[in-house]
A and B are shown apart, each in its own frame.
Chain A
Amino acid sequence: MNRSVLALLPLFLLVFAVDIGAAPNPTELRAGVFDPPRLAPDFSLRGSDGSELKLSRYRGKVVALAFGYTNCPSVCPVTLGYLAEARKKLGAGAKDLQVVFVTVDPERDDTEHLKKFVAFFDPTFVGATGTPGQLAEIRKVYGITMSNKIFTDAAAKSRGIYYLDHSSFVYLIDREGKLRAMMPFGVTADDIEHDAKALLSR
């Protein structure tokens, strides 16, 4: 064996002995976190509970704010399903978690329609709608993007059946009304419960 190779042996062993990293440093929340948090932009819409729905009326609670529409074939029902499941997992803490579902499709989603839709998942959920202009302004301040109407074919177009592509995030607002976090589509009920619990404990 060559002496020069033997001389390199300690170096060779060293690279395997050194763990170049430290322990994982997971963030406290599983959602994306804003730092510093700002006050969540307030709005005033028509609530599915029949009253004027102002976001600020939920101060003292944690709000999970979602955007979508009742004719959504997949993303919105899945999101609301996870939110309902997370709320059940919270047990007694669930009374301090309010889910607000703001429509991106005011043309079809009136308050009655929204009421039936959200109640299917959880009777405490509240839907909200308004004029196209009001809703566009709210989407803008939250960074929600959406497409124009998507018609699958001419027959669907003639019957007025369309889909909308839109950002599918859930915004988490703390008890003080600050926008703390944003959860992308695909998180589980466990993730939502985890983060809601963390915000409720503050």
Chain B
Amino acid sequence: MTPQASDIDFPRTNSARGRRVIGRRLLNWVLIPLAAIAVAVGAWAALAPVRSESREQVYVIPKGTWEHRQAGHHLDVIPSRIRLTLGVRDVLVMKNQDDVPQLFGPVLIMPGQSFQMPFQKPSEYIFTCPLHSSGLLTIVVEPMPEPGLARLRWRATGLVTPGAWL
């Protein structure tokens, strides 16, 4: 008996319909939720408040830093570029846990002492700093990012900047 066209087409049609069903389910239960999450995260990043519980960004000069340096090792124990944001993280705290006084940027900090420096103006501050192999410390103080693209970009930059606050 010669097979009818419908006998041959039926499995193909069934398979196509199956693919359509799977595609629709994929769209409904995976892609759309993922897109919705992406939109929600993006909207949050662009609009959510950026204040934090503490406005301090703390750095520690660890014990043994001076000995390491005397031994000829140039360890950057603290980033040479520090990013702060007004109203969010705008108080730089430097703690000296070493056994000798340390000059951090412009500040001489005694052993066991800390120094808190609040910033009030957005700017880029460059100091000489013997703690860094480059000899320079740059503190970038950014204004509070406005809601929208600026805030989104600010959070995105925070993701890839060590020590930055989100």
Contact = CB atoms under 8 A, between A and B. Distances in A.
Interface of A: 2, 4-5, 8, 11-12, 15-16, 18-27, 30-36, 38, 141-143, 145, 167, 169, 182, 184, 186, 191
Interface string B99-131: 000010011111011111110110001001000
A32 B107 contact: yes
Nearest to A33: B116
A94 to B, nearest CB: 24
B106 A20 contact: no
Contacts, number: 96
Interface stretch (B37-45, B59-67, B76-84): B37-45
10 closest cross-chain pairs (CB), A and B: A21-B51, A143-B108, A32-B117, A15-B44, A12-B40, A4-B33, A21-B52, A33-B116, A5-B36, A19-B49
Nearest to B105: A143
B33 A34 contact: no
Given A35-B114, A145-B106, A186-B121, 10 more contacts: A15-B44, A25-B55, A32-B115, A32-B118, A35-B115, A35-B116, A143-B107, A143-B108, A182-B107, A184-B125
A4 B91 contact: no
A169 B125 CA distance: 14
Nearest to A165: B128
A201 B36 CA distance: 56
Nearest to B40: A12
Contacts of B40: 8, 11-12, 15
Nearest to A35: B114
Contacts of B15: none
B118 A20 contact: no
Interface string B71-102: 00000000000000001100100000000000
10 contacts: A2-B32, A4-B36, A5-B32, A16-B44, A21-B53, A27-B116, A33-B117, A35-B116, A143-B108, A182-B115
Contacts of B110: 38
A191 B117 CA distance: 14
Contacts of B44: 15-16
A143 B113 contact: no
Given A4-B29, A184-B106, A24 B87 contact: yes
Given A38-B110, A145-B128, A182-B107, A21 B49 contact: yes
Nearest to A11: B40
A15 B46 CA distance: 11
B2 interface: no
B55 A24 contact: yes
A146 B59 CA distance: 25
A2 B36 CA distance: 10
B108 A141 contact: yes
B108 to A, nearest CB: 3
Contacts of A38: 110, 113
A188 B112 CA distance: 31
Nearest to A27: B118
A22 B53 contact: yes
Contacts of A36: 112-113
Contact of B49 (A2, A20, A27, A35): A20
B48 A20 contact: yes
